[in-house]
Structure 1
Amino acid sequence: MASERLGMAALTWMALCLAAAFAVDRSNFKTCEQSSFCKRQRSVKPGSSPYRALLESLQLSQDSMKLQLVNEVNKVPLLLELYGLQGNMTRIKINELSPLRPRYEVPDVLVRDPPTTWLAVMGRDENSVELSLGDSGHKLILTGKPFRMDLLQGRELVLSINPRGLLHFEHLRHRKDSEEPKESALEGGAAGEETEPAVPGEQESSEKSTKSEEVSDEPDRAEEELGSWEETFKTHTDSKPNGPTSVGLDFSLPGFEHVYGIPEHADNLRLRTTEGGDPYRLYNLDVFQYELYNPMALYGSVPLLLAHNTQRTLGIFWLNAAETWVDISSNTAGKTLFGKMLDYMQGGGETPQTDVRWMSESGIIDVFLLLGPAPTDVFRQYTALTGTQALPPLFAVAYHQSRWNYNDEEDVAAVDDGFDTNDIPYDVIWLDIEHTDGKRYFTWDPNKFPQPRNMLGRLAAKRRKMVSIVDPHIKVDSGYRVHNEIRSRGFYVKTKDGSDYEGWCWPGSSGYPDFTNPEMRAWWASMFSYDQYEASMENLYIWNDMNEPSVFNGPEVTMYKDALHQGGWEHRDLHNLYGFYVQMATAQGLEQRSGGLERPFVLSRAFFAGSQRYGAVWTGDNAAEWDHMKISIPMCLSLALTGISFCGADVGGFFKSPDAELLVRWYQVGAYQPFYRTHAHLDTVRREPWLFGEENKALIRAAIRQRYALLPYWYTTFYHSYRSGQPVMRPLWVEYPDDVTTFSIDDQFLIGNALLVHPVTEQGAHGVQVYLPGKGQVWYDVHSHQKHHAPQTLYVPVILSSIPVYQRGGSIVPRKERVRRSSDCMYRDPYTLYVALSPQGTAEGELFIDDGHTYNFESKAQYLHRHFSFASNTLTARSADSKGIFESPAWIERVVILGAGKPAAVFLRQPGMAETRLDFQHEPETSVLTLRKPGVNIGADWSISLR
């Protein structure tokens, strides 16, 4: 039997390798038609909803409303809960009123119970109730039959819930062909105790509704024929002991044509309509060399959709961790711009509208409506729920060098020395799975890496770091202490029969720790302590790969859905949370090893809502192709819109080998994305930056140096993201929400609010079309300092060295321009301030400084947050946050003012000191004024006057 399993796994592995060598085999992954619950949900057609709201059951407390819904076909009662939340949000929950057993509700994603606001009934009639939602100015009209809800602001309809009648809630039931109902894995114990009616004080109402309208399963016979109790895909059969449990609900967004989000998909930033094709799928999967421009699921899932028009921005956050499909339709899909204009001129045509339908395999309906109205409001609302992007240590924002694999300690030393020899900065070198002893994580290969502590110490002496991979599949080996401990503690995921679940991954036969178990996570975190992780040191950080989880011989290359987690929950209920928990536990381990002092760095391939709290993600197994480089931009923008700002792609492509032009261009693209790492498959040619000739080496070095010069700005922007939830890398429409031209642009982007980047992503390009937004604004080319007026589309000629980047007039960007070997070596280096003047002659910007690696900025207020402003020909520096106290040795070396005339004299003034005159240089051709050596400490208050 064991040999048969091994043979099957080996064949599966060979097939996957062949797929990886060419392209993804789409037949390994389900379509909606092959997913029985998606097919059932989609078979529900608009316009004939069986659900009625029992308005007489309505209960209103100070901050919530509860009432019953009933399916008038099968008579199953549901409980609707509605909460008004502070900050212009609304929460809607729908569950069975009295389920046979509890249904899964997602834990640990919300950072706290959202604070509520008041609700009040403002009016009612026999078929509707009008509710006021706190002080937000919103009201909700709840219609009884057929059930729907309409949310309005004043007299404007903002969105509708169940307007097409697509609510479909599959209730838990006993299987008809069983002689006796079998006890579910969820029955018995704490998770399956008999539950009280969900509406307090409504026992009588519940009994009345169920007794007077006898529950019938007769209409569900169709479900019995569509994979309700078991489902086979290829060679795998999924038993479904709890039967059909899917949930679905639709929303209409009047006035909206542009929707975004629901990553991860290799697709455009603006989501397409899915009519006539598959919905977008959210189901974390290990997909080799994924296809582009389709809605197939990839490594991570964030069930947040944003809608934007010139008046407002909205968000719909569907808190469900099961497999989910999202259908999008629009009444303007397929219409040309001319057709829309013709409708308008003729006084006809419909109001543009986008309809969104969510369908999940299990759980409950738990949805948050984020009502904006501005993009910044939606980001603040969402991150108030799920947390903001963790502030990374400074080194993590710098350049990372990786491949599968650096062969041994000598190879690591040679690559490290190569950067110094070629005068190229880098901060981190990475080790993939081959560094371990036989794919046993937390170990080192004794032949290739016999002295890891010496290797780490050599890097530390150069103020550099290492990242090693620790994957969440554990080699089944009685001689491996990690496996023995997990097994002895009962921490592995179980099969439906209660034995330890085993699958095939890099080590061969592997167990999968149950990261949903807090005790398992605590144990895992303890493994990163210096006395547990052999030879680890302070400069070793972690990479979690394959955490979808990837199971080579599993259905769709992942875990059986009927595998069991702590509490008896099926894997189907929480699949998309697995990678979230792996990264959480790893980050906690890195924090704990330092006594809570040091900020962790953990890269994860799988993710869910809230993963931003624990580190970075990347776009997975891409290929050395131009389109793969290009798609990394909308992929990272989509993630940024949904809270995960720390995103990047494998520079150069993971599969295949790039030619020199593609590699150079990819280094240029990566230099302006938040996570900057090169990585490659073990079968690709080596691609260290100096291996492609002197000219290409110089181009790559220049791109990497641009990244390092801008580290102060990157770090400050990450700090703002940490504090306010605003994305680091953002689409143009976020800053220019009323400019329709920006709504579909995803080949250029903003870093913060000051830098606009349009990387060159076409092979052999001689020019790019750059759109400069902002009526009455100006933009400055950061290389030539040429000024351009906006709005306009600018044709920019390019050569291989070109990276079109523009600084917004009215902004101040800090840089560090001295070349060092790593970011840590730049700590004492001086700053240059680039002041780009607006047409009104003003500008402002900020700078955040701390020690770059600890939590002291939070726990001890050890930081500097500086504000710079230019007005009335005076540049002023002051504190942006008086609570922060930190001494930095850095000073201001230079001030470069773009768009300035030539002054007669320039004077520096500091409190309590005499005014001093500064040297300057003015270039009349470009209107650039350079002030030399103000020499003031970066933490001091001062002003510079142009006279």
Structure 2
Amino acid sequence: MIVNTELQQKGNQFPNRVVDFKKEVDTLYFTTQNEIILELTVLRDSVIRFRYATGGVFERDFSYAIDENASRGYNHLELKDDKEYYHVHTSKLHIRIEKESLQTAIYDTDGNLINEDEIGFHYEESFHYGGNIVKMSKKAQHAESYYGLGDKPMHSNLRGKRVQNWATDQYAFAKDQDPIYKSVPFYIGLNNKKAYGIFFDNTFRTYFDFCQERMGVTSFWAQGGEMNYYFIYGPQMSDVVTSYTNLTGVPELPPMWALGYQQCKWSYFPESNVKEVAAKFRELKIPCDGIYLDIDYMEGFRCFTWNKEYFPDPKRMVKELADDGFKTIVIIDPGIKIDKDYWVYQEGVKNDYFCKRADGPNMKGKVWPGECNFPDYTNPKVRDWWAGLFKELISDVGVKGVWNDMNEPAVMEVPDKTFPPDVRHNYDGDPCSHRKAHNIYGTQMARATYEGVKKFAYPKRPFVITRSAYSGAQRYTSSWTGDNVASWEHLWIANIQVQRMCISGMSFTGTDIGGFAEQPTGELYARWIQLGVFHPFCRTHSSGHHGDQEPWAFDEGVTDIARKFINLRYRLLPYLYTMFYEYVEKGTPLLKPLVYFDQDDAQTHYRTDEFIFGHHILVCPILEPNAKGRRMYVPRGNWYNYWTKQMIAGGKEQWVDADIDEMPLFVKEGTILPKYPIQQYVGELTIEQVELEVYYGLGKNASKLYEDAQDGYDYTKDRYSYRTFKMVGREKDWIIQQHKRGDFMTSYDTFRIHLIGLPFDIKEIELDNEVVSFEDVHFDPVACALIINKDFTELHLTGA
């Protein structure tokens, strides 16, 4: 084994020869002479956990990130050894472990190298804090690309970058600034058309270097804790992402209204201002489902209180807004004001619920209310208490969602913007310092919030949004990308961040449309709303200090563009809701970067702008001013321009026209796109007919449509409707077959089928094996549309 002498001089220690081996069911232990143990666990044939102990001792095995419902079980596990190596075989992988050094290499079953250690595991003792700085280095393959890691505001391909994970309140962050709000220590490697993932489940400050320091080496390390990572094999990027998402968990289905458009500002107050904004949406016929109250609704920024001067009767106001289709979402921060007359503070002190400094006193820090104490959300008792605090807001007042901010945790007027490292946390019975708990503090706050909202919103579904997050936060909460800026560069960043979050397991994410800091031009706002309606979480938010940012705050032209695109989102709600169902069921990300969509096409590996929305819609935002269109890469296959319905062949870069009121949108051939009528809010209308836009394509294709009561939990008792449409397109005929699962009865009885791109004139229509007259199905030859019963099993169109 070759060990870099310079590394040795720095106090690094390395595994030496393996002297002991044992196997316990799915876990193998390799112990070296110098008491380093590799615990290798086969979770699934393609998911392997590597965990290293030093001094012969493992820490208690505990993770906030891993979902207890994650799939376990493999088809094959076999161990062989020879003079130099141990060989572990599963049905998907061959892992080779060097006896002299514990260095590992991972191959697929055809013998292709997927990933191999460079030095592999090594560590140095941290004399400053105690414990180890744990390190892992891997060889980078030729032309290997790297993706993932959450909300990094930089090019989607991370090769050549070094980044770190330390949740940071970074107001008006810049392009390439790092770290910012979230810590998602998961990346995807892609080389030779094969993808794998590495999830380094360590909550300390972690670092990832993708060939920046040394050309041929990718490494990751942490300032404490264990070297504990999961290797996830594809070979498709989609397999890696869904396996990682399964490992760290999926959310429950959000209520459909949470997928509607939402409006926020710092701050809407008093009540008359909130009502005025709400009324304007209805007057201008711009759909909107959510309206937010920022910190000014509180009494002196004290959480769980109301400013009675601004909001004399919150329950009445929230009900009146609800009667008009608006759900009220309020902000709740972690800082609890030190005030002996404030009931939340009194309860926290009395029950010892606040984070403490190492020497005993409660941690004090300044946030909006002034001096505050901070609940220790890593303590299950504190989480239960915190959940209970939502009773009045949710049960009594009728608030429908909660927005957690400042939970990195953010502290003002201190150089590092957060808690001192000596602050103590319970960590679910494993006491630790803030160095270990920092990155998961926001997630545990969102978890406690979710448990409260869920309990008191029942039988409706909860809605929570967080700014800070660690892997696994998606089980409890949606998120947004924090305090961005009203600039064209930030529109580019927003596009990348949401794509990156989606392939990092956290699909329910969006950005502050228009930018939070500073003021957008009308043109920038128009281009941002065009992109924002294709983000899973869709909300305009601004600091409000430079002017207003509602859709009507610019000129009439911008208002019309905003209305047009928000209307489009509401028409596409059944498509978006179906995407969410697949995310919840299978871990499929809602947005797919082009490299995810077609990793075999090397042209996609460095594309940042274009993405696939769901499975069938190609979106490409306009990211610069005064544009009448743009060059974009259309991936392989045939695509219909959504606006013109013209078909183009992909696999090349091409110019696409898109004046200010359009954005390049394409639909994949062979797609059925379900559409609802435009509503001003979810549930305003009883849906009496669903339109299916059917895009002709040769060969076999399939599309899905998931529906349920749009809120509540009946869907868990089979009261849902999940339709699969299978299509076969030939030159002279076209067959659409429908298969349905679930017991939910939709409110509509018919589909209006709009046929696009038919290469023939229709001569005959056969429905469920019977020829029908054109009148029976209300066939309109000009629109090329017909109306049929929703429960058809087969529609057969024959051409002349």
Question: Does the pair score TM above 0.5?
Answer: yes
Please say if residues 866 and 877 of structure 1, whose CA atoms lie closer than 8 Å, have aligned partners that are also in contact. Answer: no
Aligned with residue 134 of structure 1, among 81, 90, 100: 90
Aligned to 1:574: 437
- 1:855 aligns with 713
Whether the aligned pair in 2 keeps the contact of 1:467 and 1:543 (CA below 8 Å) is yes
Give the superposition deviation at 1:875: 4.5
Is 1:783 paired with 2:741? no
Instruction: Identify the residue that residue 894 of structure 1 maps to in structure 2.
Output: 752
Residue by residue over 1:724-770, the C-alpha shift from the partner in whole angstroms, topping out at 9 and shown as x without a partner, is 11110111122212111111111110011200001111111122112
Residue 829 of structure 1 deviates from its aligned partner by: 4.2
Q: 1:798 to 1:876 in 2, by over 3 A?
A: closer
Q: Does the CA-based 8 Å contact 1:400-1:428 persist in structure 2?
A: yes
> C-alpha distance in 2, partners of 1:141/1:757?
43
Match of 2:539 in 1: 677
Identify if the C-alpha distance between structure 1 residues 764 and 497 changes in structure 2 by more than 3 Å, giving closer, same or farther. same
Relative to structure 1, is the Cα distance of residues 917 and 320 closer, same or farther in structure 2, using a 3 angstrom cutoff?
Answer: same
CA distance in 1, matches of 2:274, 2:769: 51
Larger radius of gyration: 1
Residue 655 of structure 1 aligns to a residue whose secondary structure is: coil
Matched, 1:493 2:348: no
Deviation at 1:890, TM superposition (A): 2.2
Q: Measure, in 2, the Cα distance between the counterparts of 1:741 and 1:47.
A: 42
Q: 1:261 to 1:108 in 2, by over 3 A?
A: closer
**Structure 2 residue 159 is matched with structure 1 residue 299:** no
Distance 1:875 1:434 in 2: 58
Q: Which amino acid in the other structure matches residue 577 of structure 1?
A: I
Give the aligned partner of residue 717 of structure 1.
579
Look up the match of 1:404.
266
CA 1:332–1:558: 2 relative to 1, 3 Å: closer
Matched, 1:325 2:325: no
CA distance in 1, matches of 2:43, 2:718: 31
> Hey, what does 1:614 align to over in structure 2?
476
CA change 1:326–1:70 in 2 (3 A) is: farther
Shift of 1:830: 2.1
Shift of 1:50: 4.7
Question: Any stretches of 5+ residues in structure 1 without a counterpart?
Answer: 1-40, 72-76, 172-222, 230-239, 334-353, 924-928
SS at match of 1:866: strand
Name 1:832's counterpart in structure 2.
691
Contact 2:14 2:123 in 1 (8 A): no
Q: Give the aligned partner of residue 200 of structure 1.
A: none
Deviation by residue 1:59-110 (Cα, 9 ceiling, x = unmatched): 1233221122355xxxxx22210112214111110123455x9578434533
Q: 1:59 aligns with which of 15, 18, 22?
A: 22
Question: One-letter code of the match for 1:569?
Answer: C
Hey, what's the Cα distance between the residues in 2 that align with 1:155 and 1:135? 11
Matched, 1:269 2:177: no
After superposition, what is the alpha-carbon deviation per residue over 1:274-298, rounded to whole angstroms, capped at 9, x for unaligned?
3xxxx2010001011001024x101
Name the CA distance, whole Å, in 2 between partners of 1:622 and 1:660.
17
SS at match of 1:824: coil
Tell me how far apart the structure 1 counterparts of residues 236 and 465 of structure 2 sit (CA, whole Å).
31
Which residue identity is paired with 2:797? S
Equivalence for 2:78:
120
Map residues 22-101 of structure 1 onto 2, 5 A cutoff: 44=7, 50-69=13-32, 77-98=35-56
Q: Distance in 1 between matches of 2:140 and 2:755?
A: 45
Check if 1:845 corresponds to 2:708. no
Matches within 5 A, 1:412-451: 412-451=274-313
- Does the CA-based 8 Å contact 2:425-2:437 persist in structure 1? no
Mapped to 1, the partners of 2:562 and 2:275 lie a distance apart of 21
1:31 alignment partner in structure 2: none
Q: Is the 8 A contact 1:47 1:164 kept in 2?
A: no
Q: CA deviation at 1:372?
A: 1.1
Amino acid at match of 2:728: A
Once the 2 structures are TM-superposed, how far is the Cα of residue 55 of structure 1 from its aligned partner?
2.2
CA distance in structure 2 between the aligned counterparts of 1:944 and 1:588, rounded to whole angstroms: 49
**Residue matched to 1:734:** 596
CA distance in 1, matches of 2:229, 2:574: 38
Structure 2 equivalent of residue 548 of structure 1: 408
CA shift for structure 1 position 145: 2.8
1:796 is aligned to 2:656? yes
* Pairing partner for 1:770 from 625, 632, 641: 632
Aligned pair in 2 of structure 1 residues 905, 918: CA closer, same or farther (>3 Å)?
A: farther
What's the CA shift string for 1:302-357, capped at 9, x where partnerless? 11010123521100010001111111107996xxxxxxxxxxxxxxxxxxxx6321
Contact 2:767 2:792 in 1 (8 A): no
Give me the CA root mean square deviation. Answer: 2.6
Q: What stretches of structure 2 of length at least 5 have no aligned partner?
A: none
Structure 2 match to 1:209: none
Q: What CA distance in whole angstroms lies between the structure 1 residues aligned with 2:12 and 2:59?
A: 25
| Shift in Å, 1:871 | 2.1
**Deviation of 1:877 (Å):** 4.8
**Equivalent pair of 1:148/1:160 in contact (CA under 8 Å):** no
1 CA distance for matches of 2:541 and 2:608?
A: 24
Give distance in 1, aligned partners of 2:139 and 2:740: 42
Partner of 2:470: helix, strand, or coil?
A: coil
Paired with 1:131 and 1:513, the residues of 2 have a C-alpha distance of: 48
Question: Is the CA contact (8 Å cut-off) linking 1:261 and 1:641 kept in structure 2?
Answer: yes
- TM-score, with normalisation over the residues of structure 1? 0.79
Distance 1:709 1:476, change over 3 A: same
Matched with 1:661 is 523
Equivalent in the alignment of 2:165: 282
Q: Alignment partner of 2:230: what SS?
A: strand
The amino acid that maps onto 2:168 is: L
- TM-score scaled by structure 2? 0.94
- Equivalent-residue separation in structure 2 for 1:636 and 1:833 (angstroms): 28
Q: C-alpha distance in 2, partners of 1:698/1:355?
A: 51
**Shift, 1:812, TM fit:** 1.2
1:109 aligns with 2:59: no
Quick one: which of 786, 789, 799 aligns to 1:932? 786
The separation in 2 between residues aligned to 1:452 and 1:942, in whole angstroms, is: 53
> Aligned partner of 1:65: which letter?
L
Give the distance between the partners of 1:43 and 1:617, measured in 2 at CA.
Answer: 43
In the alignment, which residue of structure 2 is the partner of 1:593? Answer: 456
CA contact (8 A) 2:488 2:623 kept: yes
Matches within 5 A, 1:630-669: 630-669=492-531
| 1:583-639, Cα deviation, whole Å (9 max, x unpaired) | 1111111111144x3221111000111111112111110010000011111111111
Deviations 1:691-750 (A, max 9, x none): 222222111111111111111111111111111111101111222121111111111100
More strand per residue: 2
SS of aligned partner of 2:87 = strand
Amino acid at match of 2:435: R
In structure 2, the partner of 1:943 is 795
Q: 1:133 to 1:378 in 2, by over 3 A?
A: same
Deviates more, 1:711-720 or 1:791-800: 791-800
Residue aligning to 1:163: 118
Amino acid across the alignment from 2:296: E
Residue 922 of structure 1 and its aligned partner are, at CA, apart by 4.5
**Percent of aligned positions with the same letter in both sequences?**
27
Aligned mates of 1:141, 1:721 — CA distance in 2: 34
Work out the CA distance in 2 between the residues paired with 1:280 and 1:755.
32
What residue identity is the alignment partner of 1:280? V
Residues 107 and 819 of structure 1: CA distance in aligned 2, closer, same or farther (over 3 Å) = closer
Q: 1:844 to 1:106 in 2, by over 3 A?
A: closer
Query: How far apart in 1 are the matches of 2:134 and 2:546?
Result: 45
Query: Structure 2 vs 1, CA of residues 158 and 553 (structure 1 numbering), >3 Å: closer, same or farther?
Result: farther
- The superposition leaves residues 499-554 of structure 1 with CA deviations (integer Å, 9 ceiling, x where unpaired) of 21111111111111010011111111112224x768421x5210000111111134
- 1:921 CA drift (Å): 4.0
Q: How many equivalent residue pairs? A: 788
Q: Partners of 2:614 and 2:381 in 1: how far apart?
A: 39
Secondary structure of 2:384's partner?
Answer: helix
Q: Which moved more, 1:421-430 or 1:868-877?
A: 868-877
1:792-829 Cα shifts (integer Å, max 9, x gaps): 2220122111111000012111112x332112214424
- Tell me how far apart the structure 1 counterparts of residues 711 and 670 of structure 2 sit (CA, whole Å): 31
